[in-house]
């Protein structure tokens, strides 16, 4: 026993994960320089991809780490866009409105979490859909929005179209990098260990003093803040706010697809899922209804036959570890076998 | 005023009817079927299809659609729910949500964007009404829907209480492994329960179609109404579902009186208020502590 214990070491960073973080840094740097050489169309598409990555990472934080499946996260997406319109309407710069709007959404999500986190499983899932519906109907009551007719973020016109695109692109890239880093450090912190303990076994975690409610609330608010930012950024690139589109349950379907396919509960899985979704959308969204049918069918297939998603499968087969949010126990003897 | 109360009760009957399948599956199998609304709309389209193309009255069509939906329920349990329920309580939420997306988009692909109604196929019944007392009319279809809700909820209750099969389903719900030991086939019991729930979904599809219009994406709102009625009435209580449906309809009526767009909002806000009350009365909640302080509770 003591012999065995001597050879075991606890590792956080592995050589491959060090390399992965460096590669991530290089990729971000290249993406940040993209406005110098990429076409406008390309920048626009990449902006969409970054927003998908934010959505997937946030839904994954909630479901994969908090064990909270929600089909109502469009609530915060729509709200993020709505407050951007509201703030810009009182004369604030549209891009400052984006940041402020995300903060407001995060603050609003706190009282919502007090009620909703009392619900379990399916009750929480549909309960969040009811919340999305309430917020949608309340936004429609605001005369400024003109009901389902919607309104445009007109103050964007202060910027000429070329620099506007670049600002939106860089802002979205920065938000994505910032939110992923935030999530990375939260999951690595002491709270993160608690979060992952709850994910693995809530009862056992509670028995050693982890407070599930507090950690779930933290995840809920972070997810709302991130998805609020995503909604606000989507508004800047789409310019028009149509309540029906922003508060559509389809956003939840997209988030679920990305996380299930990429790998639920895996930090890298959500990013991979977003990239896959982005490619699928680019190639197949012109098939309209069949595209949506396939998204649903693939989500079912993954949850039944490959519940850990593509990343989970790769990790298992090749023992890959890129972004270290946990600890791993290394037993040299075992490796020799 | 009186008229509004009567109308709210009748509308509540509709909500109770669409909720009973969802509430039944939830209380028996601990599964919230997120495809409930889409399956209901699917049943509505089937009835419409038979009426439009083969001139089969939707009431007669029900004789075909109920068995079809029961078969779908059996398949749903055998191929989707059984497997996903084994993967934990979260998996069925994902698979049934995926199923809802598949069903509604297939319906859209096949039937297009036009809204449909079953009202044109039931003759004069769609606008006939009874005069309750001078000046107060109730639509016959609304009354039939309320009666259908009461009959179905009552039969389900009796079935679960009095029959051997009902006891088997309850035993399976309580503890599938132990039920297996005493000779119950838990798979069979769950499949029968799902099939039963789907037969009520077939009737709900009829109610949806005769009350008004629907399209491929009507499933979402129906799911929310059914869910709210179930939660308001109290999970696990079939009669509570009837009360829940009526309370939901009242809240919507009050909402509509306050603001022209307040109909849906009224129902949703009541739902949140009920959740708040549950939170206060829950163990460790304010209400529980208050009872404790007053010496009511031990």
CA angle B90–A200–A206, rounded 5-degree value? 105
Q: Do B264 and A137 touch (CB under 8 A)?
A: yes
Q: Do B80 and A300 touch (CB under 8 A)?
A: yes
- Residue B34: which of A71, A118, A140 has the nearest Cβ? A71
Does the pLDDT value for residue B235 go beyond 70? yes
pLDDT of the residue at A322: 66
Under 8 Å CB pairs connecting chains A and B tally to 120
For residue A90, give how far its alpha carbon lies from the nearest alpha carbon of chain B (Å): 26
Does the pLDDT value for residue B220 go beyond 60? yes
What is the rounded CA–CA span in Å between residue B204 and residue B210?
10
User: What is the DSSP annotation of A10-62?
Assistant: EES--HHHHHHHHHHHHHHHHHHHGGGTS-HHHHHHHHHHHHHHHHHHHHHII
What is the rounded CA–CA span in Å between residue B40 and residue B226?
11
When the pLDDT of each residue in chain A is averaged and rounded to a whole number, the result is 87
Average the pLDDT over each of A18-27, A318-327, B60-69, B288-297 and give the range with the smallest value: B288-297
Does the pLDDT value for residue B297 go beyond 50? no
Q: Do A130 and B95 touch (CB under 8 A)?
A: no
Q: Do A296 and B101 touch (CB under 8 A)?
A: yes
pLDDT of the residue at B298: 40
- Residue A115: which of B105, B220, B279 has the nearest Cβ? B279
What residue of B is the nearest CA neighbor of A112? B272
Q: Quick one: what percent of chain A has pLDDT higher than 90? A: 52
When the pLDDT of each residue in chain B is averaged and rounded to a whole number, the result is 88
**pLDDT, tens only, B30-59:** 889 999 999 999 999 999 999 999 999 999
Instruction: Report whether CATH 3.40.1660 matches the domain A2-332.
Output: no
Contact residues on chain A for B89, CB-CB shorter than 8 A? 121-122
CA angle B171–B172–B174, rounded 5-degree value? 65
Does the pLDDT value for residue B284 go beyond 80? no
pLDDT band at B295 (very low <50, low <70, confident <90, very high): low
* Most A-contacting residue of B38, B102, B106, B107 (CB-CB within 10 A), to test interface: B102
Residues 6+ apart with CB under 8 A from A305: none
pLDDT of the residue at A198: 76
What is the set of domains in chain B, with CATH numbers? 2-258 (1.10.3470)
Does the pLDDT value for residue A113 go beyond 90? yes
**pLDDT, tens only, B134-156:** 777 888 889 999 999 999 999 99
pLDDT of the residue at A5: 53
Contact residues on chain A for B87, CB-CB shorter than 8 A? 303-304, 307
Q: Provide the token pair at B31.
A: 């599964």
Q: Provide the token pair at B162.
A: 């009095």
CB neighbourhood size of A312 (10 A): 18
pLDDT band at B196 (very low <50, low <70, confident <90, very high): very high
CA angle B221–B226–B229, rounded 5-degree value? 125
pLDDT band at A333 (very low <50, low <70, confident <90, very high): low
pLDDT of the residue at A335: 45
Does the pLDDT value for residue A58 go beyond 70? yes
């Amino acid at each position: 026993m003591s012999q065995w214990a001597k050879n075991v070491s606890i590792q956080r960073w592995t050589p491959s994960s060090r390399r992965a973080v460096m590669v991530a840094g290089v990729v971000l740097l290249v993406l940040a320089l993209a406005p110098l050489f990429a076409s406008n169309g390309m920048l626009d598409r990449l902006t969409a991809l970054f927003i998908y990555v934010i959505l997937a990472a946030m839904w994954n934080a909630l479901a994969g780490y908090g064990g909270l499946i929600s089909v109502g996260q469009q609530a915060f997406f729509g709200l993020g866009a709505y407050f951007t319109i509201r703030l810009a309407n009182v004369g604030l710069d549209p891009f400052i409105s984006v940041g402020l709007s995300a903060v407001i959404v995060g603050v609003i999500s706190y009282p919502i979490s007090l009620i909703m986190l009392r619900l379990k499983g399916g009750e929480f899932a549909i309960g969040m859909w009811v919340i999305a519906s309430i917020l949608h109907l309340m936004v429609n009551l605001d005369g400024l929005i003109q009901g389902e007719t919607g309104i445009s973020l007109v103050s964007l016109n202060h910027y000429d179209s070329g620099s506007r695109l670049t600002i939106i692109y860089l802002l979205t890239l920065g938000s994505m990098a910032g939110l992923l880093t935030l999530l990375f450090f939260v999951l690595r912190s002491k709270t993160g260990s608690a979060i992952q303990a709850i994910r693995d076994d809530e009862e056992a975690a509670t028995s050693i003093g982890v407070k599930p409610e507090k950690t779930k609330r933290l995840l809920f608010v972070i997810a709302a803040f991130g998805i609020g930012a995503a909604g606000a950024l989507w508004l800047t690139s789409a310019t028009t706010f149509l309540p029906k589109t922003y508060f559509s349950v389809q956003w939840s379907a997209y988030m679920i697809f990305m996380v299930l396919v990429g790998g639920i509960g895996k930090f890298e899985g959500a990013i991979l899922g977003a990239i896959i979704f982005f490619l699928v959308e680019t190639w197949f969204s012109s098939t309209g209804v069949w595209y949506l049918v396939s998204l649903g069918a693939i989500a079912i297939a993954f949850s039944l036959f490959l519940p850990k998603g593509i990343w989970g499968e790769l990790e298992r087969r090749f023992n890959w570890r890129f972004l270290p949010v946990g600890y791993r126990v290394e037993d040299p003897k075992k490796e020799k076998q | 005023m009186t008229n509004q109360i009567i109308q709210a009760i009748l509308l509540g009957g509709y909500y109770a009817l669409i909720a009973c399948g969802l509430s039944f599956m939830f209380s028996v199998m601990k599964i919230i079927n997120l495809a409930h609304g889409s399956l209901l709309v699917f049943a509505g389209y089937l009835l419409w299809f038979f009426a439009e193309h083969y001139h089969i009255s939707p009431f007669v069509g029900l004789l075909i659609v109920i068995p079809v939906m029961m078969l779908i329920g059996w398949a749903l349990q055998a191929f989707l729910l059984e497997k996903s329920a084994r993967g934990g309580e979260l998996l069925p939420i994902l698979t049934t949500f995926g199923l809802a997306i598949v069903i509604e988009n297939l319906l859209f692909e096949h039937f297009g964007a036009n809204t449909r109604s079953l009202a044109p196929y039931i003759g004069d019944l769609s606008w006939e009404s009874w005069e309750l007392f001078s000046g107060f009319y109730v639509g016959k279809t609304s009354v039939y829907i309320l009666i259908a809700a009461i009959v179905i909820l009552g039969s389900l209750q009796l079935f679960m209480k009095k029959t051997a099969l009902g006891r088997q389903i309850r035993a399976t719900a309580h503890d599938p492994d132990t039920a297996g030991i005493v000779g119950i086939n838990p798979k069979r019991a769950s499949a029968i329960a799902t099939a039963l729930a789907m037969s009520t979904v077939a009737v709900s599809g009829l109610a949806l179609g005769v009350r008004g219009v629907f399209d491929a994406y009507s499933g979402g709102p129906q799911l929310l109404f059914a869910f709210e009625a179930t939660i308001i009435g109290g999970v696990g209580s079939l009669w509570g579902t009837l009360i829940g449906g009526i309370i939901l309809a009242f809240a919507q009526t009050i909402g509509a009186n306050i603001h022209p767009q307040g109909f849906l909002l009224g129902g949703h806000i009541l739902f949140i208020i009920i959740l708040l009350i549950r939170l206060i009365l829950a163990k460790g909640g304010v209400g529980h502590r208050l009872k404790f302080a007053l010496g009511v509770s031990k």
